[in-house]
Structure 1
């Protein structure tokens, strides 16, 4: 196998070779580094190149295995880490110029867990300022581009992660998600992800000087963006390993109990007044048919009020942002991000004071309604966005732009507010006027059952195929 082939391997296929010593960790890492050097100048997905230390670590892992040490489950897998999470000795800039010298004193739990499993960090990926846009651009590192073309945003806030993994820069990409920041980049780039539920993945940044707000704590989760659903089953058990620095982490196994009988899926095309684009409609039908073929029982039925929970939850988050973060945004943010936040506050009028306390209380009501519904329907298949993914900087175009980018994304942030897991997987490659573009859908799952959402994503992927293959063919003509 040549290095030209190695970078194309998914993490699952790669570890089958590295763990059996058919290829070395050094070979695996070098192939991804070569790919990064080839395509990243045009993408700007990786904004800190860690090639040298990655190769050193790969050689050390190879030596350890040669000396008889058991290889980890992710032995030799090249990964990227988002720049808003601590990696010892590197800046946790969060895309903000004023934070470019905030050097992490230690690794965050996700970095530690990935490295303990044998993964090797080859670079750190871009994020928008304060990781609070569904697009990725900032004054510190500049714009990240979507490998499908510059007419499509790469998504955000884990836009660098999504663009990197789909372009072949590493087999796994770390990201996080407070309102869709894993799923937006997955949808933009045709990748696969699962937003874990609350308490599933340990999280904490050793560099932080104060604890985050309660909604930031309860809505934000850490995860991975991959090219295949199988890679989530491979890697997530390592990511969810306990870490005492997160006192609210729940140490549960990745796989839950097997379900008796066919799994029922609630299928909805509700868009709450937003237009459902024909290509999204076709993607939903394809996903439904794939699940039926795989033995699921799919019934068209509306879940509990997603719009009310989603909008209420995001307005509450904006209330917390207004109280705890707005001063920092005003002091350290660019004019672009300051202007965007002003429109955020119009689109999602912040809930503050007594009303915020009431909305925090009502969160349990929404979560309970979903919990009861999911006793009968453990999975919910829905749109992720009602339209194909938007163009770069759409959220800078005033109220209309923010409304298209975030206003319609209630299926996204509702899951953050009530703490349920949700997978995002491509179900169609649409031929649009500007060219081919992936269309992702969402699969929400019962609490603690990320594995069921990923199983369903795998069933859809079996029918549709992995989007990296047509992407790489397209990239061959333009990169």
Structure 2
């Protein structure tokens, strides 16, 4: 492998080589920066280039290693951080022009955890305004494009992260997810991710002036987008390291106890009246067959009502947004995002006042139903979206557009509402009239068992291949 090809290495390969002394951190980071300079101008995925400080940090890590310091588990792995999370000395703008000078006084827990493990931040990635769209565009930095082509949205709100990691800009990309913001970009770009469950990754922004609403706290999680499942097993133990600034973080190990015998997987194609596209059905069948081939027991059976949980959960979240966030959107948001929020409130009529409190309480009812179901089936294989990923700006096209983008995505936000973990992995490359695009499926897991979801993602990936390899052939 030449120096020009180092960027193609997975996070696991980079860490193995740097820890063994076969690759310097400086060479790893230099290669990633070179790739960023080549790929990013067409994508606008990274909107703050941190090359200079990344190289300075890389040299410091190499010097410390030469002086006898032990290498970290993510030694020399290039990462990107989403612009809605604090990184000391940089703006946590959240895609909002009014926040462009909100400079973080210190690192958020996940940034500290990654850097303490030897990772190097090479840039900060784009997000839509307020990180509240499933597409990525804003007046401050502009539109992010999908590396598969401009016929597909890059997803959101971690669209910059998904586009960057799949284009080879960094081996790991940080993102977060309140209703699908890790899984939407994974599905759009063909990346692999796991949405952690409630309490799994410590979260806190030192720049914040007030605490978030209770549903925002309980539905939103921090995570990573990767090009292969093995990199999640490598990196997530670092991400979940405890931090006292998150008093509700649960310090459990990444790997849980082994499950005796073959793992049972519940499998559903139910899309609750929304049309199931043949390419999505084919992706589901491929994933099911891959799991069967890997030794899982897969049974077609309906889990507890996802549609009811998802719609209730998102209407509750919209009630909290209406009460706590709407005035900020009205004051600082563009006309585009204000119009989108107006349609959100139509698609998901907000629960308010006493009814909001009742629906927040009902969250436990749905979670209990699923916990009991997951005792019998530790994993559930589901669609992520019923249709292939939508085009850019589809959510600006009124009620019909928002319905296609978010209204039908009940398998996404239902899982946030119940605080469960869920993996998202590509299992098919669809050849559609508008162009090729990946199709991802979702794998829900028992509470605290993100590792089981990642294992299943790896089993699917081992039989269908890495989507990044096909993308890079196309990009070349």
Smaller-chain TM-score range? over 0.9
How far apart, CA to CA, are the structure 1 residues paired with 2:216 and 2:363?
14
Structure 1 residues 43-62: aligned runs within 5 Å? 43-62=43-62
1:36 corresponds to: 36
How far apart, CA to CA, are the structure 1 residues paired with 2:429 and 2:16?
29
Q: Secondary structure at the match of 2:16?
A: helix
The question of whether the paired residues in 1 share the 8 Å contact of 2:45 and 2:126 is answered with yes
2:319 corresponds to: 319
For residues 152-193 of structure 1, the C-alpha deviation after alignment (integer angstroms, 9 at most, x for no partner) is: 000000000000000000000000000000000000000000
2:394 corresponds to: 394
How far apart, CA to CA, are the structure 1 residues paired with 2:376 and 2:369?
12
2:304 corresponds to: 304
Shift of 1:13: 1.0
For residues 214-254 of structure 1, the C-alpha deviation after alignment (integer angstroms, 9 at most, x for no partner) is: 00000000000000000000000000000000000000000
1:456 corresponds to: 456
1:269 corresponds to: 269
1:139 corresponds to: 139
1:278 corresponds to: 278
How far apart, CA to CA, are the structure 1 residues paired with 2:14 and 2:429?
26
1:182 corresponds to: 182
Shift of 1:393: 0.1
How far apart, CA to CA, are the structure 2 residues paired with 1:26 and 1:98?
36
For residues 355-408 of structure 1, the C-alpha deviation after alignment (integer angstroms, 9 at most, x for no partner) is: 011001110000000000011000000000000000000000000000000000
Task: Report how many residues are paired.
Answer: 476
Q: Secondary structure at the match of 2:34?
A: helix
For residues 283-318 of structure 1, the C-alpha deviation after alignment (integer angstroms, 9 at most, x for no partner) is: 000000000000000000000000000000000000
The question of whether the paired residues in 1 share the 8 Å contact of 2:347 and 2:407 is answered with yes
2:434 corresponds to: 434
Residue 92 (1) aligns with residue 61 (2): no
Shift of 1:100: 0.1
1:421 corresponds to: 421
How far apart, CA to CA, are the structure 1 residues paired with 2:435 and 2:459?
26
How far apart, CA to CA, are the structure 2 residues paired with 1:343 and 1:256?
42
Structure 1 residues 216-255: aligned runs within 5 Å? 216-255=216-255
1:257 corresponds to: 257
How far apart, CA to CA, are the structure 1 residues paired with 2:341 and 2:366?
26
How far apart, CA to CA, are the structure 1 residues paired with 2:101 and 2:337?
20
How far apart, CA to CA, are the structure 2 residues paired with 1:464 and 1:294?
12
How far apart, CA to CA, are the structure 1 residues paired with 2:10 and 2:188?
19
TM-score (norm 2): 1.00
Instruction: Report runs of 4+ in structure 1 exceeding 6 Å deviation.
Output: none
How far apart, CA to CA, are the structure 2 residues paired with 1:15 and 1:39?
23
Shift of 1:14: 1.1
2:22 corresponds to: 22
Q: Secondary structure at the match of 2:146?
A: coil
How far apart, CA to CA, are the structure 1 residues paired with 2:328 and 2:141?
19
Q: Secondary structure at the match of 1:471?
A: helix
Structure 1 unaligned runs (5+)?
none
Shift of 1:16: 1.0
2:377 corresponds to: 377
Shift of 1:111: 0.2
How far apart, CA to CA, are the structure 2 residues paired with 1:350 and 1:464?
41
The question of whether the paired residues in 1 share the 8 Å contact of 2:151 and 2:435 is answered with no
Shift of 1:3: 1.9
How far apart, CA to CA, are the structure 2 residues paired with 1:97 and 1:25?
35
TM-score (norm 1): 0.99
The question of whether the paired residues in 1 share the 8 Å contact of 2:127 and 2:159 is answered with yes
How far apart, CA to CA, are the structure 2 residues paired with 1:340 and 1:178?
17
The question of whether the paired residues in 1 share the 8 Å contact of 2:175 and 2:225 is answered with yes
How far apart, CA to CA, are the structure 2 residues paired with 1:414 and 1:21?
45
For residues 65-118 of structure 1, the C-alpha deviation after alignment (integer angstroms, 9 at most, x for no partner) is: 111111000000000000000000000000000000000000000000000000
